[in-house]
Amino acid sequence: MTTSDYRVKGTTGEWEVVIGLEVHAQVTSNAKLFSGAATAFGAEPNTQVSLVDAAMPGMLPVPNRECIRQAVRTGMAIDAAINRWSQFDRKNYFYADLPQGYQISQLYHPLVGEGHLDVVPDDKDPGTTKRIGVERIHVEQDAGKLMHDQHPTRSYVDLNRSGVALMEIVSRPDMASPAEAGAYLTKLRSILRYVGSCDGNMDQGSMRADVNVSVRKPGPITKEHPLGTRTETKNVNSIRFVMQAIEHEAKRQVAVLEEGGRIVQETRLFDPDRGVTRSMRSKEDAQDYRYFPDPDLLPLELDEAFLDECRASLPELPDAKRVRYEAAGVTPYNAGVLTAEVETARWFDALLTAGAPAGPASNWVTGELFGALNRLGLGIGDSPVTPPCAAELLALVADGTLSGSLAKQVFEVMLDTGEAPGAIVEARGLKQTSDTGAIEAVIAEVLAKNPGQLEQYRAGKVALFGFFVGQTMKAMGGKANPGVVNDLLKQALG
C-alpha cells in the first residue's frame, strides 16, 4: 500500500483522510517584527520587551526589513509567487498574553502566494514523489506566553515572545496520510534551515504546526460528495506528534460518524503522553476576528533590486544538492541522507573540497562517521574529525598505505585525539606493507605451522584459503596488503 492509498478502516468500510498543515516558523532575526527588542531564546521572563511589544499608548510599529527579507527568501525556495504589494491586517481577539488586544497578521494580501514542495513520503521507495501545494506564506507577530506552573492560584505572563516575527506557511489539503504529512514537515524544515530563515527547532517552539484533519468516503470531490468537516489541532511541536495526532484524529472522526454523530468544526489540543486529541474550543471563522487593514502600517511594496538581492542570497537547496551528489557517484539513498540536514551537507561538501572521491566518501560518512558520532552522542558539527583529516584518511586507504582494518584503528585514534591520520600512521607504525619478501616469509611460516590444513586444502578443501589469509594477516599484525597476500598465497599453495 502506498501512502496515497492510506485508509482508515471502520465498520462501514474504508475512509480516506484529508490533511492540511499550517506551520508557524519563527523568523531568524536579531530583532522582533515591529520593534528593536531582542529575540534570543532562553532569556529571563520579560527581559526582551519594548514599549511596542507591551502595547504602551502611542507606540507605533515599524517593520523589520530582515524579517520581510527572510520570508521572501523562503517563498523563493519553494518556487512560490512573491507579491510585490502586500498589506498587514489586524486580527482582533482577547487573550492575556496579547497586550494589544489584536495580532498584526496578513489575511487579504499576504507577502508570499502559491508555491509547492515535492516530497518522498516512502523512504523505501525514493521514486514515490508527491507534490504538496503551499497556498501562502504570510508574516505575523507572535503572542506572549502564559505560565501556569509557577504558583498554585496564579498565572504569569512572559512577553519575551510577544512581537517575534512568524511565517505562517499554509499548505493545501493535499496530504492523505500521516507519512505524507511527516515527509512534508521534514522537507519544509530542511529548506528553512538551508535558507537560514528559521532554525526549525520544534522542541523550543520556533517551529510548530496546526494540523487540519477531515475524513470522507473515497471518491471524487463533488457537490454531493464534498470534503468532510475539519478539526484543527493546535501547536503540535514535533513531526512524530503531528503524525500521531493525524492518526488518532482520523480514527476518532470515523468512529463519531459511524455512530451517527457529526464532526464539529473546532480547535483541539494533542496530548503527547496519551497520544490523543481533546477539544479546546469551537473553531472561529475569519469574520469572528474582525480583520481590517492595520491603520498604523503602510502596505509593503517590494522593488526589483530587493527581490534580486533575496534571490542571489539563496544557497544550493537540498533537491539540487542531491542531484549534484548523485551525478558525482553517490547512491540515491546516501544522497538523501547527506542532504537531509544542512550541517551534514556542508560537512560533506567540505570533504569533497578537500579532495575525497564522492562515492567512497559518502559510504564512509554514512557508515563509519555516523556510527561513531551516534556512539559518542555527537552531531556532525561537533565531530572530532575534520573534513580535511577525513579526506586524508580516505586517501591513505585509496593509495594502499592503510588497509581497511588499519584505517579503522587510525580512525579510532582520530576520534580520541583529533590528530591527522598521517601523523598517527607514522607515530604508531601502522603503515600497510606490500613488501613481497616479508610477506612470502610469513606465508612460508604459516604453511609450515599448519600442515594438516595445507594437506586438506590441496586435497580439494579450497574454503581453507580464507584460513591461510587470516593467519597471514594476523601474523603481520594486520599490516600486510590484503591484495598482495592473496596473490602470494595462491602462488605458494599451487
Q: Which of 120, 130, 122 is nearest to 174 (CA)?
A: 130
Residue 261 Cα distances to 12, 18, 253, 283, angstroms: 14, 19, 9, 18
Contact 249, 277 (CB under 8 A): yes
**211 and 346 part of one domain:** no
Report the interhelical angle of 482-493 vs 465-475 (nearest 10°): 130
Domain limit, last residue, from 284, 309, 334 = 309
CA 189, CA 77: separation in Å to the nearest integer? Answer: 12
Contact 174, 132 (CB under 8 A): yes
Cell representation of residue 248: 488518532
What DSSP designation does 380 have?
A: G
**297 and 420 part of one domain:** no
3-state secondary structure of 240: helix
CA 480, CA 436: separation in Å to the nearest integer? Answer: 9
Domain limit, last residue, from 257, 285, 309 = 309
Query: For 224-282, where are the E strands, in sequence order?
Result: 231-236, 266-271, 276-282
Residue 116 Cα distances to 75, 174, 191, 381, 429, angstroms: 9, 11, 12, 30, 56
**353 and 268 part of one domain:** no
- For the residues of 46-105, what is the DSSP string, one character each? TSS--TTTTT-TT------HHHHHHHHHHHHHTTPPBPSEE--EEEE---TT-TTSEEEE
**407 and 470 part of one domain:** no
**40 and 183 part of one domain:** yes
3-state secondary structure of 455: helix
**329 and 393 part of one domain:** yes
74 exposure class (CB count in 10 Å sphere: 0-12, 13-18, 19+)? buried
Q: Tell me, what's the pLDDT at 3? A: 53
**279 and 367 part of one domain:** no
Residues 117, 118, 122, 123, CA torsion sign: negative
**59 and 200 part of one domain:** yes
**25 and 153 part of one domain:** yes
The CATH number that applies at residue 460 is 1.10.10.410
Overall residue count recorded for the chain in this entry = 494
CA 76, CA 172: separation in Å to the nearest integer? Answer: 18
Residue 251 Cα distances to 23, 237, 239, 315, 358, angstroms: 23, 21, 19, 41, 46
Buried b or exposed e, range 181-217, using 16+ CB within 10 angstroms: bbbbbbbbbbbbbbbebbbbebeeebbbbbbbbbbbe
Per residue of the chain (494 residues), give pLDDT as tens. 445 579 999 999 999 999 999 999 999 999 999 999 999 988 999 999 999 999 999 999 999 999 999 999 999 999 999 999 999 999 999 989 999 999 999 999 999 999 999 998 876 566 688 999 999 999 999 999 998 887 888 999 999 999 999 999 999 999 999 999 999 999 999 999 999 999 999 989 899 999 999 999 999 999 889 999 999 999 999 999 999 999 999 999 999 999 999 999 999 999 999 999 999 877 666 678 899 999 999 999 999 999 999 999 999 999 999 999 999 999 999 999 999 999 999 999 999 999 999 999 999 999 999 999 999 999 999 999 999 999 999 999 998 888 888 899 999 999 999 999 999 988 887 776 666 777 788 888 888 899 888 888 888 888 888 898 888 878 877 777 777 778 888 888 87
Contact 369, 393 (CB under 8 A): no
Domain limit, last residue, from 428, 446, 471 = 428
30 exposure class (CB count in 10 Å sphere: 0-12, 13-18, 19+)? exposed
Domain containing residue 449: 436-493
**215 and 159 part of one domain:** yes
CA angle (98, 101, 104) in 5-degree steps: 80
Q: Tell me, what's the pLDDT at 123? A: 63
Q: Tell me, what's the pLDDT at 55? A: 94
**158 and 185 part of one domain:** yes
Tally of domains within the chain: 3
Q: Tell me, what's the pLDDT at 1? A: 41
279 exposure class (CB count in 10 Å sphere: 0-12, 13-18, 19+)? exposed
Cell representation of residue 359: 562515492
469 Cβ contact partners less than 8 Å away, ≥ 6 residues apart: 482, 485, 486, 489
**181 and 260 part of one domain:** yes
Q: Tell me, what's the pLDDT at 347? A: 98
Phi, psi at 493, each rounded to 5°: -85, -10
Q: What is the largest CA-CA distance in the chain?
A: 100
173 exposure class (CB count in 10 Å sphere: 0-12, 13-18, 19+)? middle
163: left (phi over 0), alpha (psi -120 to 50) or beta: left
Residue 328 Cα distances to 123, 324, 349, angstroms: 22, 6, 12
Q: Tell me, what's the pLDDT at 121? A: 86
